[in-house]
Amino acid sequence: MKTILKGFLVAGIGLLTLVSCNKDKNDNRRWGYSVGYVTDAEPTANFTVLSDQGNTIHIKETDYSGYKPAEGQRIIPEFYILSENALSSGQRHYEVHLVGWSEILTKEIVEITAGNDEELGNDGIAITDHWIANDYLTIEFQFRYNGPKKHFVNLGIDESKTYQDDKVHLEFRHNAYGDTSGPRVWGLVSFKLESLKEGLPEGTDELDLVVHSKTLDGDDIAKNIKYIFGANLNHEAYSVHDYTDLE
């Protein structure tokens, strides 16, 4: 299921943010949401999420017994906490009751070739935030959208291009299919980075990335990002509205 989150994203305080969404004054449950990925090898309604901060969130109870996300799916679960305990690593483990979720569009890095370059597009897109955690690069962005056709976003690597540094150069590509004059909307997408580790010398534990993209005004820009393998990074969490206008 390919979905994208858009609408106004409201910043929280941490990757596990307890929010005041009690239904009434007598509801003393602790509510929260988080950004992470599903770690279970087999789909199950009682799945586990590893947050970008390194906390584990186990869905012990759920309002959605039919929802069984695939392993590796990036997700923002909304829940109330049943119990929690500190782990020796310094992170925390939470047992929770799932009351809602939003799936984040989750994709692999693609190889850019003459055969797919046109389909990947090169339309403007504004990167408004980004972070790397648990070997995923997550990009928050704005684009113009009138609909109804879904736009196409990808992170690609073009082996035919050469650069005068030791960095890995990637391209954040956007195909708007001609839909470039609508109002600005928000998007969120995660890319798996583990393929970048292939063929590296033994002992390598980080890479310097450069992400190239084109702004909404058509200017070429590049962002330097440090990729530390397997690291968990503290980052603001997001409360988002879910809808599906990208693929």
What's the rounded Cα separation, in Å, for the pair 164 and 117? 23
pLDDT score recorded for residue 119:
97
* Closest C-alpha to 208, from 141, 174, 163: 163
**Residues 93-128: pLDDT tens digits?**
999 999 999 999 999 999 999 999 999 999 999 999
Other CB atoms closer than 10 Å to residue 202's CB: what's the count?
Answer: 4
Relative to beta strand 92-103, strand 74-86 is antiparallel
| pLDDT of 167 strictly over 90 | yes
**Confidence label for 161 from pLDDT (cuts 50, 70 and 90):** very high
pLDDT score recorded for residue 26:
58
pLDDT score recorded for residue 8:
28
Amino acid at the residue 12 = G
Helix (H) / strand (E) containing 155: strand 152-157
CA dihedral 157, 220, 206, 5 (to 10 degrees): -80
**Confidence label for 225 from pLDDT (cuts 50, 70 and 90):** very high
pLDDT score recorded for residue 31:
87
- For the residues 20-46, what does the mean pLDDT come to? 78
Residues in the chain: 247
The mean pLDDT of the chain is: 83
pLDDT score recorded for residue 155:
98
| pLDDT of 2 strictly over 80 | no
Q: Are 144 and 216 in contact (CB under 8 A)?
A: yes
Percent with pLDDT over 70 in the chain: 83
Relative to beta strand 74-86, strand 36-38 is antiparallel
Q: Are 105 and 191 in contact (CB under 8 A)?
A: no
pLDDT score recorded for residue 14:
30
pLDDT score recorded for residue 5:
32
Residue 191 β-bridge partners: 107, 137
| pLDDT of 1 strictly over 80 | no
Amino acid at the residue 139 = I
Neighbour-count burial of 240, counting CB atoms closer than 10 A to its CB (0-12 exposed, 13-18 middle, 19+ buried) = buried
Q: Are 7 and 240 in contact (CB under 8 A)?
A: yes
Q: How many Cα atoms occupy the beta-carbon half-sphere of 99 within 13 Å? A: 14
pLDDT score recorded for residue 87:
84
pLDDT score recorded for residue 236:
40
C-alpha angle 224-225-228 in degrees, rounded to nearest 5? 150
Q: pTM value?
A: 0.82
Q: Are 120 and 154 in contact (CB under 8 A)?
A: yes
pLDDT score recorded for residue 20:
35
Q: Quickly count helices (H) and strands (E) in the chain.
A: 1, 18
Q: Which residue has the higher pLDDT, 89 or 205?
A: 205
Output the six-digit token pair for 49: 């999420």
**Which phi and psi angles does 195 have, rounded to 5°?**
-65, -20
| pLDDT of 9 strictly over 70 | no
